[in-house]
Amino acid sequence: MATSTASKKVQWTPTDVKAELLKKYPPKVARKRAKQIMINETSDGEISPQITANVRTIPGIITMRGCTYAGCKGVLMGPTRDIVNLVHGPIGCGFYAWLTRRNQTDAGADGENYIPYCVSTDMQEQDIIFGGEKKLALAIQEIYDIMHPKAIAVFSTCPVGLIGDDVHAVAKSMTAKLGDCNVFAFSCEGYKGVSQSAGHHIANNQVYRHVIGENDEPVKGEYKVNLLGEYNIGGDAFEIDRILEKCGITLTLTFSGNATYDQFATAHQADLSMVMCHRSVNYIADMLETSFGIPWIKVNFIGANSTAKSLRKIAAYFEDQKLIDRVEEVIREEMLDVEVAAREVRSRTEGKTAMLFVGGSRAHHYIELFNELGMKILSSGYEFGHRDDYEGRQVLPNLKVDADSRNIEEIEVQPDEKRYKPRKSEEQMAALEKSGMKFKEYEGLAPDMDENTLIIDDLNQYEAEKLVELLKPDLFCAGIKEKFSIMKMGVPMKMLHNYDSGGPYAGFKGAANFYYEIDRLLSSNVREFLKAPWQENPELTGAYVWE
């Protein structure tokens, strides 16, 4: 099977494309995939198409998805710098999640940074047969003796759940034994759930249970906020830190880019939670609100306009003229460079087309950046999104909870007896809402996509190639596994999981960076090199003319 984009250009309707994508599948697969491929029709307001998402991956179909462990350890807990992540299982899972996600960290004044370490119980056959609890306890002790960390997080991989090691009991007894080290565990075996998404939920639950609210020592500073769902890929969180600091906003916690244990432990003291990647952290945002009375809003620091909008939202929430003025000043100042970059590249990016298949929020976030470049998104979708990520949080009550989702624990949270304190009165909240501020809400990807574009959940390798072949985008965005098959077709490819060693792309400086990067990719002239002179003109038409 060979695919290339060089064939003749035909105008395809979305219905044709969908039919082409499904054509080769066995009937059962085609039926299932048909529900995950949606032709976007939201803009007429009447029809609200539904997409099937967060359902099982089809065995044998080459998916982009990873597993629950990857979502829990790799994505959510990995970026925290001063918690030792101990992977309980055979060596592979620890190895592959070792420094491969580009979460930047700064060891800070305390000097604690365990990110460059891969720590594993490296389970052997006898541990599988006789159980791994003793080895786990000993491993925790050995880490403590060598490194003396504040906390050790234990992650279960597939066989651990099957052999029934009680990782939580081991963690609890080791916490008691060590005295000054919080040990807690995540039952994030790879087979749970249908994608990384289940792992995010598991991480949220355990962080809430074991770390949030552990430290009541007052956090100093004005306008205290949590930034949830920002993982500091390529330094994104550092750029957001810079901007917030410039505005005078105090960041209590970034969950979890370059985070520290104490940031998590004091997060309950913030006055507002900002949710960046809602797919991965909306759970804890809710828990922080229910337990401690911290309201949450959706923000997006991807794109200069989105960043400005998000900053204005924060300022509006605090209802403080000093902050409102400062934010406007910062935006004015920062936009100067952004505008220079946009002016420089826009003539080359305007009207170009892209496809985005990434994450559970990212594909949506990046639409804003492409809008700023005047580019058009032909098709997009998530790897591990749920229906609310496509259609908006209002669909949550209508979501069908299937067996796979039921397997993931949903924890009941009560208001904290002593520390629950609504940050705003009911009247204040009502007034803010009236003025247009939306709490506990996010929009889906679909409303931001053009009419008749294709929204595809859990896109796979076969469909990706077909899409590129049929619609010939100028740029394709996905992850490492997709990168080189797309590039072989001569189409520029940008990784939006890990940025191909680039970034930051968040905030103002990040936006400018991204503009230049997309300009570089679109001006790629690889097609010029594909044919050698003798392939361009294979016919010999005369003798060689010597000088």
Partner 1 sequence: MLLRHTPKEIGERKAVNINPAKTCQPVGAMYAALGIHGCLPHSHGSQGCCSYHRSALTRHYKEPISASTSSFTEGASVFGGQANLLQGINNIFSVYEPDVIAIHTTCLSETIGDDLPQIRKKAEQEGKIPEGKYVIGASTPSYQGSHVTGFSNMVKAMVDFSEKTETKNGKINIIPGWVEPSDMEEIKRMAKLTGVDTIMFPDTSGVLNGPMTGEYKMFPDGGTTIEELKSTGDSTGTLALGDWCSADAARTLDKKCKVPCKVLDIPFGLKATDRFVDAMRTVAGVSVSDELVYERGQLVDMLTDMHQWTYKKKVAIAGDPDHVIAMVEFLLTLGMQPVHIVTGTPGKKFEKRIEELTKDKGFEVNVKAKGDLFLLHQWIKNEPVDLLICNTYGKYIARDEDVPLLRWGFPILDRQGHQYFPTVGYKGGLRLLEKILGLLLDRKDRDSPETKFELVL
CA distance 111 to 325: 36
Residue 155's DSSP bridge partners are 87, 186
Q: What is the CA radius of gyration of the chain?
A: 25
Q: Is the CB of 115 or the CB of 308 nearer to partner 1?
A: 115
Closer CB to partner 1, 303 or 492, in the complex: 492
Beta bridge partners of 357: 381
Pair 390, 455: CB distance under 8 Å: yes
Both tokens assigned to 125: 């056959």
Identify which of residues 96 and 439 has a Cβ nearer to partner 1 in the complex.
Answer: 96
CB of 414 to partner 1, least distance (A): 28
How far apart are CB 188 and partner 1 at their closest, in Å? 10
Q: Which of 53, 70, 181, 277 is catalytic?
A: 70
Residue among 13 and 124 whose Cβ is closer to partner 1: 124
Q: Smallest distance from the beta carbon of 310 to partner 1, in angstroms? A: 31
- Asked about 34 being catalytic, the answer comes back as no
Q: Give 338-342 contacts, CB < 8 A, sequence gap 24+.
A: 338/304, 338/508, 338/511, 338/512, 338/515, 340/512, 341/511, 341/512, 341/515, 341/516, 342/372, 342/373, 342/512, 342/515
To partner 1, the closest distance from the beta carbon of 135 in angstroms equals: 5
Pairing of strands 272-275, 296-298: parallel
Taking a C-beta distance cutoff of 8 angstroms, is the pair 54, 46 a contact?
no
Considering the complex, state which of residue 28 and residue 220 has its C-beta at the smaller distance from partner 1. 28
Peptide bond before residue 59 is cis, with ω within 30 degrees of 0: no
Could you say which of 200, 386, 387, 497 is catalytic? Answer: 200
Burial zone of 374 (CB within 10 Å; 0-12 exposed, 13-18 middle, 19+ buried): middle
Instruction: For the CB of residue 238, give the shortest distance to partner 1 in the complex, in Å.
Output: 17
CA 542 vs CA 423, 535, 538, 545: distances in Å: 85, 16, 12, 9
Q: How far apart are CA 373 and CA 380, in angstroms?
A: 17
Query: 513 is written with which tokens?
Result: 């960076």
- 19, 30, 34, 101: the catalytic one is 101
Pairing label, strands 454-456, 37-39: antiparallel
Rounded Cα gap, residues 87 and 167, in angstroms: 11
Residue 201 annotated as catalytic: no
Q: Is 259 a catalytic residue?
A: no
Distance CA 140, CA 168 (A): 13
* CB 230 within 8 Å of CB 106: no
Paired tokens of 14: 């979305």
Least distance from C-beta 448 to partner 1, angstroms?
28
Residue 264 contacts residue 206 (beta carbons within 8 Å): no
Q: Which of 67, 97, 185, 198 is catalytic?
A: 67
Residue 67 known to be catalytic: yes
**201 vs 423, beta carbon nearer partner 1:** 201
Considering beta carbons, is residue 12 or 96 the nearer one to partner 1? 96
The CB-of-19 to partner 1 minimum distance in angstroms stands at 16
Least distance to partner 1 from the beta carbon of 257, Å?
18
* Count of other CB atoms within 10 angstroms of residue 170: 22
Nearer to partner 1, 128 or 399 (CB): 128
Count of C-beta atoms within a 10 Å radius of residue 134 = 12
Q: Which residues are catalytic?
A: 67, 70, 101, 200
